[in-house]
Amino acid sequence: MFGMPGASPELVSMRAGKANLEGTTVTSDPRKGLLIMRKSDDGLTHLIWKDRVANSVVDDLIVFEGDAKIQRVEECKDGFCMLIAFAAGGRKLFFYSQEPRKKGSDWEDVSKEKDLMDKFHRVLTGESATAREGTAGPPVALNDVLRAEDVVPKVDEAMEAALAEHLPSGDSAAATLSTPQMAQAAMRFNEALYQGDAFGLMRELNLNPTGPGLEPFLRALQASTDAAKAKEEEEEPVDKMDES
């Protein structure tokens, strides 16, 4: 999925590293990281993992209310390991706390970690105060999500090559995304999504939205993307990483 259209205040954040599941063993990634949940300007909620040393975003996933749950991995006794499991696609993400601790303290007192994990849980399930405030606004439009100024910088050479066959000769994907014709096409597709006229296309794309509208479409697209990524990860050999 595309990254955030704009940076907004964090809903919750925690100093946490990534961990990788290899068979039945979870091994830690040594990088210092920050796990963040943030609502972007278009109203979508993002789950982000950022490399604190490089100050760069490594993972940026759009999550919808009820899409995922977070829980502690009780088998981990020498740290505080967490699992975020997605209902669609079966994707699992592991993280471990890097919150500062008093020198020499053991892992019997994890009240700080549990409090932060509970905040993540409330955001993921829609129980946070932020999610409850106010009344529902107008539905998010596709043009709000695919704003040219946000999407065009993300188009790299690989994406250009993959999309070339679908464009007129000599046209680039980056340039096409900025045209009025693209905005108009997105508006028509958005209308089709909300009117329930796009289910035929959804079937051709092997997507299974739960209903009309942009959010069910994005949920289905995210599930399809997660499933494809999980399949690729299963097929690729994984180098063992030393636990730190």
The model's pLDDT over 97-127, given as tens digits with 9 standing for 90+, comes to: 999 877 666 667 788 899 999 999 989 988 7
CATH of the domain at 99: 2.30.29.70
- Tell me how crowded residue 46 is: count the other CB atoms within 10 A of its CB: 22
In this prediction, residue 85 carries a pLDDT of 92
pLDDT digits (tens, 9 = 90+) for 139-150: 678 888 778 788
Q: Which helix (H) or strand (E) holds 119?
A: helix 111-125
- Arithmetic mean of pLDDT, 218-227: 85
Tell me the C-alpha distance between 34 and 209, whole Å.
32
In the chain, the DSSP E strands lie at: 10-22, 25-28, 33-39, 45-51, 56-63, 68-72, 81-86, 92-97
185 and 70 belong to one structural domain: no
Q: What is the mean pLDDT of residues 6-28?
A: 83
Domain shared by 97 and 187, yes or no: no
In the DSSP assignment, the letter for residue 180 is H
Are residues 176 and 226 both part of a single domain?
yes
Looking at the structure, tell me whether residues 126 and 158 fall in a common domain: no
| Residue in 85, 34, 25, 30 with CA at minimum distance from that of residue 57 | 34
Rounded Cα distance between 101 and 39, Å, is 29
pTM: 0.54
Lowest mean pLDDT among 64-68, 110-114, 211-215: 211-215
- Tokens 């508006």 identify what position? 187
Q: Where is the domain boundary, 102, 133, 164? A: 133
Print the domain residue range for 18. 10-133
Indicate if 175 and 125 belong to the same structural domain.
Answer: no
Nearest to 145 by CA among 224, 10, 40: 40
Does some domain include residue 68?
A: yes
Final residue belonging to a domain, choices 115, 133, 151: 133
In a domain, 87, yes or no: yes
What is the tally of structural domains in the chain? 2
